[in-house]
Chains A and B, each alone.
Chain A
């Protein structure tokens, strides 16, 4: 590990400051999300989302068609899901370096950790069950399709609480760990996620789980937020003096 950590920042970034262990954890963040992107987009086919308004037979056909890649993708995700926790860890670490104290960092940590269960894990369990228990009643398999997609795209309250904790912490912070504009971008995230709750009611249209407002426009905002977070974490990690004392 020490070899990895020492070579990380020098090989990949122009900065030479920052702590080796923090750099090591930092690179897990974009690494996890890159793997996550490949899994959800290319392998398991949950993004772009399949249609909510199809018949049970079509749902069974969807599982049959993508059976192998879904099993590979969600099997991988079950193993890699801890990467989400590590990715949250690097954000929490930098939040704890803010002047506001640890309380918002714990709020972020709790919100993201609980949100990941319905947001990532339940859809994996649903779709793996659907593709590995093919002898089940088709109606039950169809229900797993709905449950998986609604849970994956519509379980947003805990994430909203985490974004709020992050935004407030940034606005109060006097150490300048993250720029203030990122707090505002996090507030957009809350708004788009609250709108996405509409998808439980609709089978089609802009507010369904594949809708232009409830899903696609929210994904655009999320992508901006995520890219900004990865860039800002890199800056924050680089700016931390290598000889600063360890946090509590």
Chain B
């Protein structure tokens, strides 16, 4: 709260959300480091399993989440300038992208499981856990966007810091996915 009062050192959102975001990235960093350690132990096995992931689906989901972050960033700008209707519409756009991401990820899981790529394979056990935990974060993100919409709808509320906090969380979800996409899909 104290930081937001000074325009020169403005911290978007509230400090509590930043504790969440930075801490969450530390927790994920732990998963990424452990993944890299196990990958370094059996690089051939990880590479051959990785061939079964669809890099196209991963790329489509990356574009979807980046688009959602663009919606949310524009929504913050709209909320700051007092255009709440536009901010609500843009937040819905971000949420729609998030829903689409979940749908594509669910299809990808279903396709992999029916192809027999279960968590009996070390690479895929990491894949299911890391993308699964990320998926939980997307679902929480949709709830956060719902809270943002509720905030924007109520003329008595409409606190910009709340909208910013929601956006900070959503951008974290996006950022984590980019790292996951690089680690699991792209890195050869």
Contact = CB atoms under 8 A, between A and B. Distances in A.
Interface of A: 179-181, 183-185, 187-188, 191-192, 194-195, 198, 201-202, 205-207, 212-213, 217, 220-221
Given A180-B14, A188-B27, A213-B34, A195 B133 contact: yes
B68 to A, nearest CB: 21
A73 B119 CA distance: 36
Contacts of A192: 27
B103 interface: no
Given A181-B20, A213-B129, 13 more contacts: A179-B16, A180-B16, A184-B16, A184-B19, A188-B27, A194-B136, A195-B133, A201-B119, A202-B125, A206-B125, A207-B119, A207-B129, A212-B34
B133 A191 contact: yes
B43 interface: no
Contacts of A181: 15-16, 19-20
B59 interface: no
Nearest to A179: B16
A185 B129 contact: no
Nearest to A205: B122
A212 B129 CA distance: 13
Given A191-B133, A198-B119, A213-B34, A207 B17 contact: no
A200 to B, nearest CB: 11
Interface centre among B14, B15, B122, B125 (most CB of A within 10 A): B125
B151 interface: no
Nearest to B129: A195
Contacts of B16: 179-181, 183-184
B107 interface: no
User: Which DSSP category, helix, strand, loop or mixed, fits chain B's interface?
Assistant: helix
Contacts of A191: 27, 133, 136
B31 A198 contact: no
Contacts of A205: 38, 122, 125
A220 B133 CA distance: 17
Contacts of B122: 205
Contacts of A198: 119, 125, 129
A24 to B, nearest CB: 31
A206 B38 contact: yes
A195 B137 CA distance: 13
Nearest to B21: A184
A184 B129 contact: no
B108 interface: no
A202 B121 CA distance: 11
A212 B125 CA distance: 13
B23 interface: yes
Closest 3 CB pairs of A and B: A184-B20, A180-B16, A181-B19
A195 B17 CA distance: 23
A195 B35 CA distance: 14
B95 to A, nearest CB: 19
Given A184-B20, A188-B23, A217 B129 contact: no
A180 B38 CA distance: 36
Contacts of A183: 16
A225 to B, nearest CB: 11
A184 B34 CA distance: 23
B27 A221 contact: yes
Nearest to A170: B16
Interface centre among B14, B15, B16, B133 (most CB of A within 10 A): B16
B119 A188 contact: no
Nearest to A195: B129
Interface string B107-129: 00000000000010010011001
Contacts of B140: 187
B82 interface: no
A210 to B, nearest CB: 13
A169 to B, nearest CB: 15
Contacts of A220: 30
A217 B34 contact: yes
Contacts of A221: 27
